[in-house]
Amino acid sequence: MTEVSVVLPTFNEVENIGPLIQALLAHLPDQSEIVVVDDDSPDLTWQRVDEFKQKDHRVRLIRRIGRRGLTSALQEGIKASTGQYIFWMDCDFSQPPELISELFKALSDYDIVVASRYVPGGAEKGHSPLGSILSKLVCLLASLVLSPTIKDYTSGYVGTRKEILLALPLEGDYGEYCIGFLYRAFKKGYRILEIPYTCLPRQSGESKTATNLIGYLKRGRKYILTIIKLRFQG
């Protein structure tokens, strides 16, 4: 029986995906799998994953042709996963793969674990000064409007039981899915623990997040609308 599944949504991460797979496997229990969901990357990320798949049965590949989007990729990976516990994270080394062992250990006492930039000991160094400020503001707004018990509403490095993800499917098209999932889980009474980490600049490749003010404002608008919607849904 598979104990842990790690879902990795990818698009043009050919330089990062191999080292990340190796790092994760080194810090996961033996009965684990890595499910890479690739949106038919032009840089052939999916081909690199297929090479790993041929050598290690713990690596699985879903190559999506004609389908795009972070949240839908995560949902597809979650449904295909066979693990009792499921994690997901970014694939650019901005989030430390070695932290996953600590996150997994915490699931013996909590329902959901979140790698957090905004609890004591954590830090945001992975984005431009503007991006970092806006990220902090979005999470602060979510804490004020929704629940102050959660600090990093847009973490994107999360672990929980598969049954919880099936009961609370991810919604949205980008990072706003994380706000909705964490708040709905909080409202259901699930125990959530945030473990600090330092978010670093991506190791290689191009960022999928916004890179200028207009882009940040477009993304931020979706986050804010999600926060307002969740608040009035009760």
pLDDT at 128: 81
- In the block, tokens 């000064």 appear at 129
Mean pLDDT of 108-118: 98
Banded pLDDT at 174 (limits 50, 70, 90): confident
Could you give the CA distance from residue 16 to residue 23 in angstroms, rounded to a whole number?
A: 11
Ordered by start, the domain boundaries in the chain are: 4-233
pLDDT value of position 129:
84
- Please report the pLDDT score of residue 127 as a whole number: 80
Specify the pTM.
Answer: 0.93
Name residue 140's amino acid: L
| Short-list 165, 25, 24, CA closest to 84 | 165
User: Higher pLDDT residue, 21 or 203?
Assistant: 21
CATH number at 4-233 = 3.90.550.10
> Between 30 and 210, whose confidence is greater?
30
Report the C-alpha gap between 234 and 221 in whole angstroms.
20
Helices (H), the chain: 14-27, 45-55, 70-80, 100-106, 129-145, 162-167, 176-187, 213-233
Average pLDDT, the chain: 93
- Using one digit for the tens of pLDDT, what is the confidence trace for 133-160? 889 999 999 999 999 999 999 999 999 9
| Residue 155 to residue 73: CA distance in whole angstroms | 17
Residues 6+ apart with CB under 8 A from 161: 84, 85, 86, 107, 111
| Residues 91-111: tens digit of each pLDDT | 999 999 999 999 999 999 999
61: Cα separation from own chain's centroid? 17
pLDDT of 78 higher than 70: yes
> pLDDT (tens digit, 9 = 90+) per residue, 177-229?
999 999 999 999 999 999 999 999 987 656 656 556 566 667 778 899 999 99
- For the chain, give the percent of residues with pLDDT over 70: 94
**Span 37-56, average pLDDT:** 97
Q: Which of 88, 108, 113 is nearest to 6 (CA)?
A: 88
Q: What is the pLDDT of residue 37?
A: 98
Per-residue pLDDT, 22: 97
